[in-house]
Amino acid sequence: MTESEEQLPLSGIKVFELGIAIASPFCGKLMAYFGADVIKIESRTSPDIVRLLGSAWLKDREELASIASDTSPYVSEMNASKRSVGLELKTDQGRATAMQVLAECDVFLANFGARALADLGFDYESVKAVKPDIVYVQLPGFGSNPGTPYYPFVAWGPNQAPLVGMDDFTGHSDDPPAGIATVAPPDYMSALHAAIATLTGLEQRDLTGEGVHVDISQFETTLALLGPFVMDYDLTGAIPSRMGNRSMWGAPQGVYPCSGTENWIAISATDEDDWRAVRTLAGNAIDQMFDDAALRMEHQDQLDEEMASWTAAFQVDDLVDRLQTLGVAAHTVSTNEDLLHDTHVMSRGWYQVADSKRLGRDVFSNCAVRLDQTPGRWTHAGPSMGQHTREVLQSFVGLSDTQIDELIDAEAAFEAIAPETVTSRPWDDWIHMFIPGVDDARDL
């Protein structure tokens, strides 16, 4: 361990992760960045969904089909700096070996359903029996209390949003509720709650010597996003309706077209100072009646039409600059391509490149939290499935190569498929375009 690694906030902390998709894997990734040794337990018979996605560029390369599970961009996005251990927990030997690994860990982290954990024998009481001071953090959809109404249900991020009413707020007033499944904010909210809870649990253990059971309901972490609306209803009975991009406090606020194809500007000018600045630029292009704030709110459809007619005459970057210069909140509606070249994103080093046993190197998002005295680090990109099975079972459990081979022969454990097979992503020849200072493959 280097001197810088010793100084990381979570150096020496060992995390046993039963994570799938986003919720607990994202929490584990944050912990790994700040120095924790995160052991991700994986299964071939019930693989993490990110392993099932693969990559589109492999579809015509049959010779690489066997390693497709290592190539999804989400593998690195959710699992950078973790170690992957292949154990089949539905086998007696695999479960017993996992418990031996767990006995050496500080944190148990899982977003399996509560019933699934119990069925596997990894409920809190079972884990506590092996590691009494464990910080046990679970993120089932609806908590782990069998007496609650939703306990039997399974859930994932995209279906949490409609359950708590988030989708009912999303969309335009004349349209049905709009889903937000492509982003799944509930997963990320749950992960952030879990990160805070894990640190709190570790502090309690250090102060008292006792472990703790942290039971996080993803349903409730999602509901927490809507606190003001819930309280408003409780106090006034008000039920807000969908309003598209508009604001309940003032107008105009929305997304408007600019010159060219699919060029859009987002403008929020909801107070009098902002409106006067818009008027300075727009002149008579917008009816003078809208100088009355009440009329701007009352006739928003007409206002938006006139705003759109006015903005359509501008190049989007030009209008953004003019409005921002006057102090109006305005910005280009960025595409994914725009973000690749965004100067702020690039200056913050958001896109990271790290070594990958399977891909040579891979790209993933950086951590948004920066600690000036103890910055984190990425040791490697997402691991191949089962890449670290042997080294972890040797170092944590003390198993010999012969004993590990026996587990593999019994299909209770596995290692990476074809570890000698290395390929590269299509961007390897032009990576410098979005990560300055990183050489293209042909230049290496």
What's residue 428's pLDDT?
84
The predicted model gives 50-65 an average pLDDT of 87
The terminus-to-terminus CA distance of the chain in angstroms comes to 28
Reduced to 3 states (helix: H, G, I; strand: E, B; else coil), residue 285 is helix
Count the helix, strand and coil residues of the chain and give each as a percent rounded to the nearest 5.
45, 15, 40
Residue 79, pLDDT score: 97
Could you tell me which CATH number the domain at 3-224+350-431 has?
Answer: 3.40.50.10540
pLDDT band at 181 (very low <50, low <70, confident <90, very high): low
Q: Give the β-pairing of 212-215 and 253-257.
A: unpaired
For residues 211-230, give the mean pLDDT: 89
Report the alpha-carbon distance of residue 20 to residue 28 in Å, rounded: 11
Query: What pLDDT sits at residue 440?
Result: 67
pLDDT in tens, 18-37: 999 999 999 999 999 999 99
**pLDDT surpasses 60 at 442:** no
**What's the mean pLDDT when you consider all of the chain?**
91
Q: How far is it, in rounded angstroms, from Cα 240 to Cα 54?
A: 41
Please compute the mean of the pLDDT values over residues 308-313 and round it to a whole number.
97
> Which amino acid, 145?
N
pTM listed for this prediction: 0.89
- Tell me the pLDDT tens digit for each residue of 350-363: 899 999 999 999 99
Phi, psi (degrees; rounded to nearest 5) at 213: -100, 110
State yes or no: pLDDT of 170 exceeds 50: yes
Residue 258 pLDDT > 50:
yes
Structure confidence at residue 183 as a pLDDT band (50, 70, 90): confident
The token duo for 382 is 């997402």
For 131-156, the pLDDT digits (tens) are: 999 999 999 999 999 999 998 888 87
Q: Give the fold, CATH level 3, of 253-333.
A: formyl-coa transferase, domain 3 (3.30.1540)
Higher pLDDT, 342 or 396: 396
- Structure-model confidence comparison of residues 223 and 97, the more confident one: 97
Per-residue pLDDT for 435 more than 80?
A: no
DSSP per-residue letters across 342-404 = -HHHHHTT-EEEEEETTTEEEEEEPPS---SSS------SSPPTTTTHHHHIIIII---HHHH
Alpha-carbon span 217 to 166, nearest angstrom: 16
Report residue 178's pLDDT band, with 50, 70 and 90 as the boundaries: confident
| Per-residue confidence (pLDDT) for residue 5, from 0 to 100 | 52
Instruction: Sketch the domain layout of the chain as residue ranges.
Output: 3-224+350-431, 253-333
HSE toward the beta carbon, residue 115, CA cutoff 13 A: 11
pLDDT band at 275 (very low <50, low <70, confident <90, very high): very high
What is the number of other CB atoms lying within 10 angstroms of the CB of residue 339? 14
Q: For residue 296, give the amino acid letter.
A: R
Question: Which of 107-111, 138-142, 177-181 has maximum average pLDDT?
Answer: 107-111
Residue 3 has pLDDT above 50, yes or no: no
* Mean per-residue pLDDT, 4-24: 88
Q: What is the DSSP annotation of 190-212?
A: HHHHHHHHHHHHHHHHHHHS--E
